[in-house]
Amino acid sequence: MISILANDADAPAVREFFELFKTPWQFHTAGDPAEILLCAGREVPADEAALLLVFGGEALPFDAGTGGGESTVTPGRFELDGLTLPIYGRRLVDPASGKTICRRGRMHGRPFVRVGFDLFGEIRHLLTAGQPVAHAAVPTLEHHAAWLRGLILDHGLPLVEIPPRPAGHEFIACLTHDVDHAGIRNHKFDHTMFGFLYRATAGSLLDVCAGKRSVGQLGRNLLAALRLPLVHLGLARDFWFQFDQYTALEAGRPSTYYVIPKKGEAGVDAQGRRPALRAASYDAADLREMLQRLERAGKEVGVHGLEAWRDSAAGSDERCRIGGLVAQAVTGIRMHWLYFDDAAPGKLEAAGFLYDSTVGYNETVGYRAGTGQVFKPFTTRQLLELPLHIMDTALFYPSRLGLSPRQAQAAVQPLIENARRFGGVLTINWHDRSLAPERLWGDGYAELLGRLQQEDAWFATAAQTVAWFRRRRAATFTVPGAGRVRISLPAGADDLPALRVRVYGPGGAVAEELARDGWETGREA
Protein backbone atom coordinates (compact mmCIF):
# COMPACT_ATOMS: atom_id res chain seq x y z
CA MET A 1 0.00 0.00 0.00
CA ILE A 2 1.32 3.42 -0.98
CA SER A 3 0.42 6.27 1.38
CA ILE A 4 0.34 9.73 -0.19
CA LEU A 5 1.03 13.00 1.60
CA ALA A 6 0.38 15.85 -0.85
CA ASN A 7 -1.11 19.32 -0.94
CA ASP A 8 -4.90 19.51 -1.09
CA ALA A 9 -4.73 21.13 -4.53
CA ASP A 10 -2.98 18.02 -5.84
CA ALA A 11 -5.74 15.62 -4.74
CA PRO A 12 -7.38 15.34 -8.21
CA ALA A 13 -4.01 14.62 -9.84
CA VAL A 14 -3.21 12.02 -7.17
CA ARG A 15 -6.51 10.24 -7.74
CA GLU A 16 -6.13 10.25 -11.51
CA PHE A 17 -2.52 9.10 -11.44
CA PHE A 18 -3.53 6.06 -9.41
CA GLU A 19 -6.35 5.25 -11.81
CA LEU A 20 -3.67 5.01 -14.50
CA PHE A 21 -1.05 3.34 -12.29
CA LYS A 22 -3.71 1.01 -10.86
CA THR A 23 -2.25 -0.13 -7.55
CA PRO A 24 -3.37 0.08 -3.89
CA TRP A 25 -2.91 3.53 -2.37
CA GLN A 26 -4.40 5.87 0.25
CA PHE A 27 -4.03 9.41 1.50
CA HIS A 28 -1.73 9.44 4.49
CA THR A 29 -3.14 10.09 7.94
CA ALA A 30 -0.80 11.69 10.45
CA GLY A 31 0.49 9.20 12.97
CA ASP A 32 -0.44 6.12 10.98
CA PRO A 33 2.39 3.81 9.94
CA ALA A 34 2.95 3.53 6.20
CA GLU A 35 4.67 0.80 4.22
CA ILE A 36 5.55 3.20 1.41
CA LEU A 37 5.21 6.90 2.18
CA LEU A 38 5.24 9.27 -0.81
CA CYS A 39 5.50 12.94 0.16
CA ALA A 40 4.95 15.53 -2.58
CA GLY A 41 5.69 19.16 -1.75
CA ARG A 42 5.12 18.61 1.97
CA GLU A 43 7.44 18.35 4.96
CA VAL A 44 8.26 14.76 5.79
CA PRO A 45 6.62 13.42 8.95
CA ALA A 46 8.36 11.19 11.44
CA ASP A 47 6.04 8.22 10.74
CA GLU A 48 7.75 4.92 10.16
CA ALA A 49 7.84 3.55 6.60
CA ALA A 50 9.69 0.79 4.83
CA LEU A 51 10.41 3.27 2.02
CA LEU A 52 10.21 7.06 1.97
CA LEU A 53 9.82 8.85 -1.38
CA VAL A 54 10.09 12.64 -1.30
CA PHE A 55 9.13 14.65 -4.41
CA GLY A 56 9.26 18.40 -4.81
CA GLY A 57 10.82 21.16 -6.86
CA GLU A 58 11.52 23.43 -3.88
CA ALA A 59 13.84 23.02 -0.93
CA LEU A 60 12.29 21.39 2.14
CA PRO A 61 13.53 21.23 5.73
CA PHE A 62 14.13 17.55 4.97
CA ASP A 63 16.89 18.62 2.55
CA ALA A 64 19.01 20.22 5.25
CA GLY A 65 20.47 16.86 6.13
CA THR A 66 20.54 15.36 2.64
CA GLY A 67 22.41 17.85 0.46
CA GLY A 68 20.05 20.68 -0.46
CA GLY A 69 19.80 22.14 -3.97
CA GLU A 70 18.66 25.18 -5.92
CA SER A 71 15.07 25.64 -7.09
CA THR A 72 14.40 26.80 -10.64
CA VAL A 73 11.26 27.40 -12.68
CA THR A 74 13.10 26.73 -15.93
CA PRO A 75 11.64 23.61 -17.61
CA GLY A 76 14.23 20.90 -17.97
CA ARG A 77 14.82 17.19 -17.84
CA PHE A 78 15.09 14.40 -15.33
CA GLU A 79 17.89 12.01 -16.22
CA LEU A 80 18.69 8.83 -14.34
CA ASP A 81 19.59 5.24 -15.21
CA GLY A 82 19.06 5.80 -18.93
CA LEU A 83 15.70 7.53 -18.40
CA THR A 84 15.21 11.07 -19.74
CA LEU A 85 11.91 12.79 -18.95
CA PRO A 86 10.75 16.32 -19.68
CA ILE A 87 9.90 18.23 -16.51
CA TYR A 88 7.45 21.10 -16.94
CA GLY A 89 7.24 22.57 -13.44
CA ARG A 90 9.66 23.81 -10.81
CA ARG A 91 12.79 21.70 -10.31
CA LEU A 92 15.31 21.29 -7.53
CA VAL A 93 18.70 21.06 -9.22
CA ASP A 94 22.23 20.27 -8.24
CA PRO A 95 24.13 23.62 -8.26
CA ALA A 96 27.23 22.06 -9.81
CA SER A 97 25.69 20.10 -12.67
CA GLY A 98 22.35 21.87 -13.11
CA LYS A 99 20.66 18.46 -13.23
CA THR A 100 17.39 17.65 -11.47
CA ILE A 101 18.37 15.94 -8.25
CA CYS A 102 17.73 12.34 -7.31
CA ARG A 103 19.36 11.33 -4.04
CA ARG A 104 19.15 8.01 -2.27
CA GLY A 105 20.17 7.28 1.28
CA ARG A 106 18.97 6.30 4.74
CA MET A 107 17.54 8.47 7.48
CA HIS A 108 16.57 7.20 10.94
CA GLY A 109 17.18 3.68 9.68
CA ARG A 110 14.80 3.87 6.70
CA PRO A 111 15.69 4.21 3.03
CA PHE A 112 14.67 7.37 1.24
CA VAL A 113 14.71 8.70 -2.31
CA ARG A 114 14.62 12.49 -2.80
CA VAL A 115 13.48 13.56 -6.28
CA GLY A 116 13.68 17.18 -7.40
CA PHE A 117 10.30 17.66 -9.06
CA ASP A 118 6.65 17.61 -8.02
CA LEU A 119 5.26 14.31 -9.34
CA PHE A 120 1.60 15.31 -9.11
CA GLY A 121 2.23 18.78 -10.47
CA GLU A 122 3.73 17.07 -13.53
CA ILE A 123 0.70 14.79 -13.85
CA ARG A 124 -1.63 17.79 -13.63
CA HIS A 125 0.34 19.58 -16.36
CA LEU A 126 0.25 16.56 -18.68
CA LEU A 127 -3.50 16.03 -18.36
CA THR A 128 -4.39 19.72 -18.72
CA ALA A 129 -1.84 21.81 -20.63
CA GLY A 130 -0.32 18.79 -22.34
CA GLN A 131 3.06 18.41 -24.02
CA PRO A 132 4.58 20.62 -26.71
CA VAL A 133 5.38 19.12 -30.10
CA ALA A 134 9.06 18.89 -29.12
CA HIS A 135 8.19 16.17 -26.59
CA ALA A 136 5.35 14.52 -28.52
CA ALA A 137 7.24 11.22 -28.86
CA VAL A 138 7.57 10.73 -25.08
CA PRO A 139 4.82 8.84 -23.16
CA THR A 140 5.86 10.85 -20.11
CA LEU A 141 3.09 9.76 -17.76
CA GLU A 142 3.79 6.08 -18.45
CA HIS A 143 7.46 6.65 -17.68
CA HIS A 144 6.56 8.33 -14.37
CA ALA A 145 4.49 5.30 -13.37
CA ALA A 146 7.12 2.81 -14.55
CA TRP A 147 9.88 4.64 -12.67
CA LEU A 148 7.83 4.75 -9.47
CA ARG A 149 7.11 1.04 -9.82
CA GLY A 150 10.80 0.40 -10.31
CA LEU A 151 11.72 2.39 -7.19
CA ILE A 152 9.41 0.25 -5.10
CA LEU A 153 10.62 -3.04 -6.54
CA ASP A 154 14.28 -2.02 -6.29
CA HIS A 155 13.79 -1.75 -2.53
CA GLY A 156 12.51 -5.32 -2.32
CA LEU A 157 8.89 -4.39 -1.69
CA PRO A 158 6.05 -6.34 -3.31
CA LEU A 159 3.39 -4.65 -5.43
CA VAL A 160 -0.02 -5.47 -6.87
CA GLU A 161 -1.48 -3.73 -9.92
CA ILE A 162 -4.07 -4.06 -12.66
CA PRO A 163 -2.05 -3.24 -15.78
CA PRO A 164 -3.68 -1.43 -18.74
CA ARG A 165 -3.62 -4.58 -20.87
CA PRO A 166 -6.79 -6.45 -21.82
CA ALA A 167 -6.59 -10.18 -21.13
CA GLY A 168 -5.21 -12.08 -24.10
CA HIS A 169 -3.69 -8.98 -25.72
CA GLU A 170 -0.75 -6.63 -25.27
CA PHE A 171 -2.65 -3.38 -25.88
CA ILE A 172 -5.71 -1.91 -27.62
CA ALA A 173 -5.78 -0.65 -31.21
CA CYS A 174 -8.58 1.86 -31.73
CA LEU A 175 -9.24 2.61 -35.42
CA THR A 176 -11.15 5.82 -36.14
CA HIS A 177 -12.17 7.82 -39.19
CA ASP A 178 -13.10 11.50 -39.34
CA VAL A 179 -15.72 11.97 -42.06
CA ASP A 180 -14.78 15.39 -43.41
CA HIS A 181 -15.98 15.12 -47.01
CA ALA A 182 -18.10 11.99 -47.73
CA GLY A 183 -17.52 12.31 -51.48
CA ILE A 184 -15.98 14.68 -53.99
CA ARG A 185 -19.35 15.14 -55.68
CA ASN A 186 -20.18 17.52 -52.81
CA HIS A 187 -17.44 19.88 -54.01
CA LYS A 188 -18.06 21.86 -57.19
CA PHE A 189 -15.70 24.70 -58.16
CA ASP A 190 -14.58 25.22 -54.56
CA HIS A 191 -11.25 25.23 -52.74
CA THR A 192 -11.42 21.47 -52.08
CA MET A 193 -12.08 20.53 -55.72
CA PHE A 194 -9.34 22.78 -57.13
CA GLY A 195 -6.97 21.58 -54.43
CA PHE A 196 -7.68 17.99 -55.47
CA LEU A 197 -6.96 18.78 -59.12
CA TYR A 198 -3.63 20.37 -58.27
CA ARG A 199 -2.53 17.57 -55.93
CA ALA A 200 -3.67 14.86 -58.37
CA THR A 201 -1.66 16.35 -61.23
CA ALA A 202 1.25 18.71 -60.59
CA GLY A 203 1.46 17.79 -56.90
CA SER A 204 1.63 14.08 -57.66
CA LEU A 205 4.34 14.63 -60.24
CA LEU A 206 6.40 16.54 -57.68
CA ASP A 207 5.84 13.71 -55.17
CA VAL A 208 7.16 11.17 -57.67
CA CYS A 209 10.27 13.29 -58.15
CA ALA A 210 10.69 13.47 -54.34
CA GLY A 211 10.28 9.72 -53.94
CA LYS A 212 7.02 10.02 -52.01
CA ARG A 213 4.84 8.42 -54.73
CA SER A 214 5.21 5.71 -57.34
CA VAL A 215 4.63 6.20 -61.04
CA GLY A 216 1.60 3.93 -60.70
CA GLN A 217 0.08 6.25 -58.09
CA LEU A 218 0.70 9.19 -60.39
CA GLY A 219 -1.23 7.36 -63.11
CA ARG A 220 -4.15 6.65 -60.75
CA ASN A 221 -4.34 10.29 -59.75
CA LEU A 222 -4.22 11.57 -63.31
CA LEU A 223 -7.00 9.15 -64.27
CA ALA A 224 -9.10 10.33 -61.32
CA ALA A 225 -8.65 13.95 -62.37
CA LEU A 226 -9.85 13.07 -65.90
CA ARG A 227 -12.88 11.24 -64.47
CA LEU A 228 -13.92 14.10 -62.20
CA PRO A 229 -16.45 15.61 -64.72
CA LEU A 230 -18.10 12.19 -65.07
CA VAL A 231 -18.36 11.91 -61.27
CA HIS A 232 -20.15 15.25 -61.07
CA LEU A 233 -22.51 14.20 -63.89
CA GLY A 234 -23.35 10.98 -62.05
CA LEU A 235 -21.80 8.84 -64.80
CA ALA A 236 -18.90 7.52 -62.70
CA ARG A 237 -18.50 6.28 -59.14
CA ASP A 238 -17.55 8.91 -56.57
CA PHE A 239 -14.00 7.82 -55.75
CA TRP A 240 -13.97 9.75 -52.46
CA PHE A 241 -16.90 7.70 -51.09
CA GLN A 242 -14.72 5.12 -49.33
CA PHE A 243 -16.88 3.54 -46.61
CA ASP A 244 -17.16 0.12 -48.23
CA GLN A 245 -13.45 0.13 -48.98
CA TYR A 246 -12.66 0.73 -45.31
CA THR A 247 -14.98 -2.10 -44.27
CA ALA A 248 -13.24 -4.47 -46.68
CA LEU A 249 -9.74 -3.36 -45.66
CA GLU A 250 -10.46 -3.70 -41.95
CA ALA A 251 -11.74 -7.25 -42.54
CA GLY A 252 -14.13 -7.44 -39.60
CA ARG A 253 -12.10 -5.31 -37.23
CA PRO A 254 -14.18 -2.73 -35.33
CA SER A 255 -13.71 0.97 -36.00
CA THR A 256 -15.41 4.30 -35.27
CA TYR A 257 -16.65 6.96 -37.69
CA TYR A 258 -17.04 10.57 -36.52
CA VAL A 259 -19.64 12.39 -38.68
CA ILE A 260 -20.08 16.17 -39.00
CA PRO A 261 -23.66 17.03 -37.91
CA LYS A 262 -24.38 20.12 -40.06
CA LYS A 263 -23.71 21.09 -43.65
CA GLY A 264 -22.20 24.54 -44.28
CA GLU A 265 -21.55 25.36 -40.60
CA ALA A 266 -17.96 26.38 -39.86
CA GLY A 267 -18.26 26.95 -36.12
CA VAL A 268 -16.31 29.48 -34.09
CA ASP A 269 -12.63 29.09 -33.28
CA ALA A 270 -10.81 30.23 -30.15
CA GLN A 271 -10.40 33.75 -31.59
CA GLY A 272 -14.09 34.10 -32.46
CA ARG A 273 -13.54 33.58 -36.20
CA ARG A 274 -15.55 31.33 -38.51
CA PRO A 275 -13.03 29.72 -40.91
CA ALA A 276 -14.98 28.92 -44.07
CA LEU A 277 -12.77 25.93 -44.92
CA ARG A 278 -13.96 24.15 -41.76
CA ALA A 279 -17.56 23.89 -42.99
CA ALA A 280 -18.63 20.51 -44.40
CA SER A 281 -20.20 20.24 -47.84
CA TYR A 282 -22.26 17.13 -47.06
CA ASP A 283 -25.44 16.62 -45.11
CA ALA A 284 -25.22 13.90 -42.48
CA ALA A 285 -28.83 12.89 -43.19
CA ASP A 286 -27.75 11.82 -46.69
CA LEU A 287 -25.47 9.22 -45.07
CA ARG A 288 -28.23 7.53 -43.04
CA GLU A 289 -28.27 4.31 -45.06
CA MET A 290 -24.49 4.02 -45.11
CA LEU A 291 -24.14 4.73 -41.39
CA GLN A 292 -26.69 2.05 -40.58
CA ARG A 293 -24.80 -0.37 -42.83
CA LEU A 294 -21.62 0.45 -40.93
CA GLU A 295 -23.38 -0.27 -37.64
CA ARG A 296 -24.48 -3.67 -38.92
CA ALA A 297 -20.83 -4.36 -39.78
CA GLY A 298 -19.81 -3.77 -36.16
CA LYS A 299 -18.74 -0.14 -36.51
CA GLU A 300 -19.49 2.74 -34.14
CA VAL A 301 -20.83 6.13 -35.20
CA GLY A 302 -19.91 9.25 -33.26
CA VAL A 303 -20.02 13.03 -33.69
CA HIS A 304 -17.35 15.08 -35.44
CA GLY A 305 -18.29 18.17 -33.50
CA LEU A 306 -18.47 21.77 -34.60
CA GLU A 307 -19.63 23.93 -31.66
CA ALA A 308 -19.92 21.32 -28.90
CA TRP A 309 -16.52 22.15 -27.39
CA ARG A 310 -17.69 25.65 -26.39
CA ASP A 311 -21.51 25.34 -26.13
CA SER A 312 -23.18 22.39 -24.39
CA ALA A 313 -26.62 23.17 -25.91
CA ALA A 314 -25.08 23.11 -29.39
CA GLY A 315 -23.31 19.90 -28.45
CA SER A 316 -26.56 18.27 -27.37
CA ASP A 317 -28.10 19.25 -30.70
CA GLU A 318 -25.13 17.80 -32.60
CA ARG A 319 -25.38 14.54 -30.66
CA CYS A 320 -29.12 14.26 -31.32
CA ARG A 321 -28.67 14.97 -35.03
CA ILE A 322 -26.27 12.08 -35.48
CA GLY A 323 -28.13 9.90 -32.97
CA GLY A 324 -31.30 10.23 -35.04
CA LEU A 325 -29.58 8.56 -38.01
CA VAL A 326 -28.42 5.34 -36.32
CA ALA A 327 -29.81 2.63 -34.06
CA GLN A 328 -27.20 2.64 -31.30
CA ALA A 329 -26.76 5.43 -28.79
CA VAL A 330 -24.22 8.06 -29.83
CA THR A 331 -21.89 8.56 -26.86
CA GLY A 332 -18.62 9.82 -28.32
CA ILE A 333 -17.25 12.91 -30.02
CA ARG A 334 -14.09 14.24 -31.61
CA MET A 335 -14.00 17.93 -32.42
CA HIS A 336 -13.46 18.90 -36.06
CA TRP A 337 -9.95 20.34 -36.52
CA LEU A 338 -9.30 19.29 -32.90
CA TYR A 339 -10.76 22.50 -31.43
CA PHE A 340 -10.48 22.30 -27.64
CA ASP A 341 -9.78 24.27 -24.46
CA ASP A 342 -9.79 23.76 -20.69
CA ALA A 343 -13.57 24.16 -20.44
CA ALA A 344 -14.36 21.79 -23.30
CA PRO A 345 -14.56 18.51 -21.30
CA GLY A 346 -17.22 19.94 -18.99
CA LYS A 347 -19.19 21.33 -21.94
CA LEU A 348 -19.10 17.98 -23.71
CA GLU A 349 -20.20 16.14 -20.59
CA ALA A 350 -23.11 18.56 -20.14
CA ALA A 351 -24.08 17.86 -23.76
CA GLY A 352 -24.53 14.18 -22.91
CA PHE A 353 -21.32 12.67 -24.25
CA LEU A 354 -19.63 9.87 -22.32
CA TYR A 355 -16.25 10.22 -23.98
CA ASP A 356 -14.20 12.58 -26.12
CA SER A 357 -11.29 11.77 -28.45
CA THR A 358 -9.94 15.20 -29.37
CA VAL A 359 -6.73 15.46 -27.34
CA GLY A 360 -3.99 14.95 -29.91
CA TYR A 361 -1.82 16.81 -32.40
CA ASN A 362 -2.69 18.17 -35.82
CA GLU A 363 0.96 18.65 -36.78
CA THR A 364 2.65 15.48 -35.53
CA VAL A 365 2.06 12.08 -33.97
CA GLY A 366 2.53 11.17 -30.33
CA TYR A 367 1.31 11.82 -26.81
CA ARG A 368 -0.20 15.25 -26.27
CA ALA A 369 -1.36 14.24 -22.79
CA GLY A 370 1.77 12.19 -22.22
CA THR A 371 -0.17 8.93 -22.04
CA GLY A 372 -1.48 5.97 -23.97
CA GLN A 373 -4.34 5.49 -21.52
CA VAL A 374 -7.90 6.73 -21.35
CA PHE A 375 -8.11 9.29 -18.56
CA LYS A 376 -10.67 11.49 -16.80
CA PRO A 377 -10.29 15.26 -17.18
CA PHE A 378 -10.27 17.03 -13.82
CA THR A 379 -13.42 19.03 -14.68
CA THR A 380 -15.71 16.05 -15.41
CA ARG A 381 -17.52 13.47 -13.33
CA GLN A 382 -18.11 10.72 -15.90
CA LEU A 383 -16.75 11.81 -19.28
CA LEU A 384 -13.43 10.17 -20.17
CA GLU A 385 -10.80 11.23 -22.68
CA LEU A 386 -9.54 8.80 -25.32
CA PRO A 387 -6.28 10.42 -26.50
CA LEU A 388 -5.49 10.55 -30.22
CA HIS A 389 -1.99 9.38 -31.19
CA ILE A 390 -1.62 8.86 -34.94
CA MET A 391 -3.33 10.88 -37.68
CA ASP A 392 -2.73 10.32 -41.38
CA THR A 393 -2.72 14.00 -42.29
CA ALA A 394 -0.06 14.70 -39.65
CA LEU A 395 2.13 12.04 -41.22
CA PHE A 396 1.74 12.91 -44.88
CA TYR A 397 0.67 16.54 -45.37
CA PRO A 398 3.57 18.64 -46.75
CA SER A 399 2.72 21.40 -44.27
CA ARG A 400 3.00 18.93 -41.38
CA LEU A 401 5.51 16.07 -41.20
CA GLY A 402 5.41 15.53 -44.97
CA LEU A 403 6.72 11.95 -44.77
CA SER A 404 7.06 9.31 -47.43
CA PRO A 405 5.22 6.00 -46.81
CA ARG A 406 8.45 4.37 -45.60
CA GLN A 407 9.24 7.31 -43.32
CA ALA A 408 5.70 7.24 -41.94
CA GLN A 409 6.02 3.58 -40.96
CA ALA A 410 9.29 4.38 -39.20
CA ALA A 411 7.61 7.30 -37.39
CA VAL A 412 4.80 5.17 -35.94
CA GLN A 413 7.01 2.21 -34.99
CA PRO A 414 8.13 3.75 -31.65
CA LEU A 415 4.47 4.31 -30.70
CA ILE A 416 3.72 0.65 -31.40
CA GLU A 417 6.73 -0.37 -29.32
CA ASN A 418 5.57 1.89 -26.47
CA ALA A 419 2.10 0.34 -26.61
CA ARG A 420 3.63 -3.11 -26.38
CA ARG A 421 5.85 -2.03 -23.47
CA PHE A 422 3.32 -0.08 -21.43
CA GLY A 423 -0.06 -1.35 -22.63
CA GLY A 424 -2.92 1.11 -23.01
CA VAL A 425 -4.42 2.13 -26.33
CA LEU A 426 -3.03 3.35 -29.63
CA THR A 427 -5.69 5.57 -31.24
CA ILE A 428 -5.43 6.01 -35.01
CA ASN A 429 -7.34 8.41 -37.26
CA TRP A 430 -7.44 7.74 -41.02
CA HIS A 431 -9.77 10.22 -42.74
CA ASP A 432 -12.68 9.11 -44.88
CA ARG A 433 -11.10 10.08 -48.25
CA SER A 434 -7.57 8.92 -47.45
CA LEU A 435 -7.78 5.62 -49.35
CA ALA A 436 -8.78 7.45 -52.54
CA PRO A 437 -7.03 9.60 -55.14
CA GLU A 438 -5.26 11.96 -54.63
CA ARG A 439 -4.06 10.84 -51.20
CA LEU A 440 -3.80 7.08 -51.89
CA TRP A 441 -2.78 6.35 -48.31
CA GLY A 442 -4.48 2.96 -48.29
CA ASP A 443 -1.28 0.91 -48.51
CA GLY A 444 0.10 2.63 -45.45
CA TYR A 445 -3.12 1.95 -43.55
CA ALA A 446 -3.15 -1.72 -44.56
CA GLU A 447 0.47 -2.12 -43.46
CA LEU A 448 -0.30 -0.47 -40.13
CA LEU A 449 -3.23 -2.83 -39.56
CA GLY A 450 -1.01 -5.81 -40.27
CA ARG A 451 1.64 -4.66 -37.84
CA LEU A 452 -0.90 -4.10 -35.09
CA GLN A 453 -2.31 -7.58 -35.71
CA GLN A 454 1.19 -9.07 -35.42
CA GLU A 455 1.66 -7.28 -32.10
CA ASP A 456 -1.44 -9.00 -30.71
CA ALA A 457 -3.52 -5.87 -30.26
CA TRP A 458 -7.19 -6.02 -29.35
CA PHE A 459 -9.06 -4.06 -32.02
CA ALA A 460 -11.95 -2.13 -30.49
CA THR A 461 -14.24 0.77 -31.27
CA ALA A 462 -13.68 3.96 -29.34
CA ALA A 463 -16.73 3.20 -27.16
CA GLN A 464 -15.47 -0.33 -26.42
CA THR A 465 -12.03 1.01 -25.57
CA VAL A 466 -13.47 3.54 -23.15
CA ALA A 467 -15.79 0.91 -21.64
CA TRP A 468 -12.84 -1.38 -20.95
CA PHE A 469 -10.91 1.41 -19.22
CA ARG A 470 -14.04 2.41 -17.32
CA ARG A 471 -14.33 -1.13 -15.98
CA ARG A 472 -10.68 -1.07 -14.93
CA ARG A 473 -11.25 2.24 -13.16
CA ALA A 474 -14.18 0.72 -11.27
CA ALA A 475 -12.02 -2.03 -9.76
CA THR A 476 -11.24 -1.31 -6.10
CA PHE A 477 -8.58 -2.49 -3.67
CA THR A 478 -9.02 -3.16 0.02
CA VAL A 479 -6.39 -4.32 2.51
CA PRO A 480 -8.13 -6.67 4.97
CA GLY A 481 -4.98 -7.11 7.05
CA ALA A 482 -1.96 -9.35 7.36
CA GLY A 483 -0.45 -7.74 4.26
CA ARG A 484 -3.19 -9.02 1.98
CA VAL A 485 -4.90 -7.15 -0.87
CA ARG A 486 -8.41 -7.88 -2.10
CA ILE A 487 -9.74 -6.72 -5.47
CA SER A 488 -13.43 -6.11 -6.10
CA LEU A 489 -14.63 -5.84 -9.69
CA PRO A 490 -17.82 -4.52 -11.26
CA ALA A 491 -19.98 -6.84 -13.32
CA GLY A 492 -18.26 -7.89 -16.52
CA ALA A 493 -19.37 -7.35 -20.11
CA ASP A 494 -19.44 -10.23 -22.58
CA ASP A 495 -17.89 -8.19 -25.40
CA LEU A 496 -14.96 -6.88 -23.34
CA PRO A 497 -11.74 -8.74 -22.46
CA ALA A 498 -11.16 -9.47 -18.81
CA LEU A 499 -8.80 -7.50 -16.59
CA ARG A 500 -5.47 -8.85 -15.48
CA VAL A 501 -3.95 -8.68 -12.02
CA ARG A 502 -0.18 -8.67 -11.64
CA VAL A 503 1.73 -9.39 -8.44
CA TYR A 504 5.37 -8.43 -8.08
CA GLY A 505 6.91 -10.42 -5.28
CA PRO A 506 10.16 -9.91 -3.39
CA GLY A 507 13.13 -10.14 -5.71
CA GLY A 508 11.07 -8.97 -8.68
CA ALA A 509 9.23 -12.26 -9.29
CA VAL A 510 6.05 -11.60 -11.30
CA ALA A 511 2.84 -13.62 -11.21
CA GLU A 512 -0.16 -12.72 -13.36
CA GLU A 513 -3.67 -14.07 -13.74
CA LEU A 514 -7.16 -12.90 -14.67
CA ALA A 515 -8.72 -10.58 -12.13
CA ARG A 516 -12.01 -11.69 -10.61
CA ASP A 517 -14.32 -10.29 -7.97
CA GLY A 518 -13.02 -11.14 -4.54
CA TRP A 519 -9.54 -11.92 -5.86
CA GLU A 520 -7.01 -11.81 -3.05
CA THR A 521 -3.23 -12.04 -2.89
CA GLY A 522 -1.65 -14.97 -1.20
CA ARG A 523 1.50 -13.00 -0.42
CA GLU A 524 2.26 -9.70 1.19
CA ALA A 525 1.56 -6.61 -0.92
Inter-residue contact 58 to 199 (CB < 8 Å): no
Q: What is the DSSP string of 471-483?
A: HHHH-EEEEEETT
Is 134 among the domain residues?
A: yes
> How many distinct structural domains can be found in the chain?
4
- The answer to whether residues 256 and 298 touch, using CB atoms and an 8 Å cutoff, is no
- pLDDT for res 190: 95
- The whole-number pLDDT of residue 279 equals 97
Are 373 and 512 found together in one domain? no
Checking if the pLDDT of 482 tops 70, the result is no
524: pLDDT strictly greater than 70? no
- 394 and 494 belong to one structural domain: no
The verdict on 249 and 224 lying in the same domain is no
Residue 344: CATH number of its domain: 3.20.20.370
Residue 454 covered by a domain: yes
In this structure, is residue 60 part of a structural domain? yes
Asked which of 239, 257, 283 is the last residue of a domain, the reply is 239
Same domain as 24, residue 61: yes
72 and 134 in a single domain? The answer is yes
Q: Taking residues 232-252, what's their average pLDDT? A: 97
Q: What single DSSP character describes residue 385?
A: E
**Quick check: is 116 in a domain?**
yes
Helices 140-154 and 11-20 cross at an angle (nearest 10°) of: 80
Q: How far apart are CA 466 and CA 383, in angstroms?
A: 10
Domain final residue, candidates 221, 239, 257: 239
In this structure, are 117 and 192 located in the same domain? Answer: no
Identify whether 388 is part of a domain.
Answer: yes
475 falls within a domain: no
Task: Give residue 37's identity as a one-letter amino acid code.
Answer: L
> Rounded to the nearest 5°, which phi and psi values hold at 161?
-150, 160
For residue 164, being part of any structural domain is answered with no
Residue percentage of the chain with pLDDT more than 90: 83
The whole model's pTM is what?
A: 0.96
Main-chain dihedrals φ then ψ at residue 510, nearest 5 degrees: -120, 130
Do residues 283 and 332 share a domain? yes
**pLDDT at 245 > cutoff 80:** yes
Instruction: Share the mean pLDDT of the chain.
Output: 94
Phi, psi of 120 (to 5 degrees): -80, -25
Look up the domain containing 289 and give its range: 171-183+242-468
Residues 425 and 292 placed together within one structural domain of the fold: yes
Whether residues 178 and 191 fall in one domain: no
pLDDT bin (cut points 50, 70, 90) of residue 516 is confident
**Is the same domain home to 12 and 128?**
yes
For residue 474, is it within any domain? no
DSSP characters over 123-154: HHHHHHT---GGGTT--HHHHHHHHHHHHHHH
Summarize the confidence of residues 150-179 as an average pLDDT: 95
Are both 251 and 374 inside the same structural domain?
A: yes
DSSP 8-state assignment for residue 347: H
Contact residues for 338 (Cβ-Cβ < 8 A; gap 6+): 358, 360, 361, 362, 388
Note whether 101 and 191 are same-domain residues: no
